[in-house]
Amino acid sequence: MKTKQLLLLTLLSLLFIACGSKNQSYSEPQATIYQDSRTAPATPYSIMTPRKISTSATISVDVDKMEKAEKELSSFVKNVNGYIENSNFSENGHYYATVKVPSKKLLESLEAIANLGEKTHQSVNKQDVTDNLINNEARLKNLKLFREKMKNLLNRTTKIEDILRIEREINRVQTEIDRIERHLKSTQGSVDMSPISVNLKEKTIYGPIGYVGHGLWWAVKKLFIIR
């Protein structure tokens, strides 16, 4: 009997020790409380909303042969999966074109256009359209939800005057939805494809007397303007 009691006490002691060691090895994780955003750790960039940038550019180049430069421009734009939106020759012999290229190919395209001749001007403009896209997407979502509610209401309505009123409201909301969808498509398009305003001008070739006259004009101009 004593042997059984001793064995039982031993087992209970071992069980108590095991439970105690388990409780000591585990502790509930403590949450860190930050009083404001200044004490909280920075949000990792990978989970932040990526910014949407609309980029456009203008470039002017003096070329030796206009026809050759125009063909090279058209060929390059096609190779980068872009396109020439519109083009025309002015009365003074300039070639103007609006070229659309993938935004990631913009700098490469500007370099290629500059290589057509002698670059005389270049500018790049960037606009952050992230907030514009987010706000319009949220508004579009709300308008579509409202349209569905109005359609459900229309299905339950029997009075002619109420039916007409609800249909007018649905048409009004649909018009606004169409407008916002066009705006979003256009804005996203300006992010994906960058427009380049291209101005090509054929270089002036002076004759012997023309060179003399041009040199004299340069010398006279320097008498009044150094730079």
Q: Tell me the percentage of the chain whose pLDDT exceeds 70.
A: 68
Q: Is the pLDDT of residue 20 over 50?
A: no
**In angstroms, what CA-CA distances link 186 with 63, 100, 129?**
33, 13, 11
User: What pLDDT is attached to residue 220?
Assistant: 56
Q: For residues 114 and 76, give the distance between their C-alpha atoms in angstroms, rounded to a whole number.
A: 12
With a cut of 50, say whether residue 125 has pLDDT above it: yes
| Averaged pLDDT, 111-129 | 95
Confidence of residue 208 (pLDDT cuts 50, 70, 90): low
Please work out, in degrees rounded to the nearest 5, the angle formed at the alpha carbon of residue 42 by the alpha carbons of 37 and 47.
115
**Residue with structure tokens 């229309």?**
154
Tell me the C-alpha distance between 44 and 138, whole Å.
Answer: 24
**Is residue 45 a contact partner of residue 70, using CB atoms and an 8 Å limit?**
no
DSSP assignment string, 5-46: HHHHHHHHHHHHHHHHHHHHH--PPPPP--SSTTTSPPPPGG
Which of 40-44, 202-206, 220-224 is least confident?
40-44
- Cα separation values, 205 from 72, 82, 85, 209, 215, Å: 21, 33, 31, 11, 14
Residue 4 pLDDT more than 60?
A: no
| Tokens linked to 146 | 């409202």
Please return the burial class of 110, using the count of CB atoms within 10 Å of its CB with bins 0-12, 13-18 and 19+.
buried
Measured over all CA atoms, what is the biggest interatomic distance in the chain, rounded to whole angstroms? 134
CB atoms within 10 A of CB 199: 16
| Residue 203 pLDDT | 84
CATH of domain 53-127+193-205: 3.30.70
Q: Quick: pLDDT tens for 41-89.
A: 444 443 456 899 999 999 999 999 999 999 999 999 999 999 999 999 8
Q: What is the pLDDT of residue 73?
A: 95
Where do the structural domains in the chain lie, given as residue ranges? 53-127+193-205, 130-191
Averaged pLDDT score across all residues of the chain: 79
pLDDT one-digit tens code per residue, 89-100:
887 778 999 999
Among 8-22, 24-38, 152-166, 210-224, where is mean pLDDT lowest?
24-38
**For residue 206, what pLDDT is reported?**
53
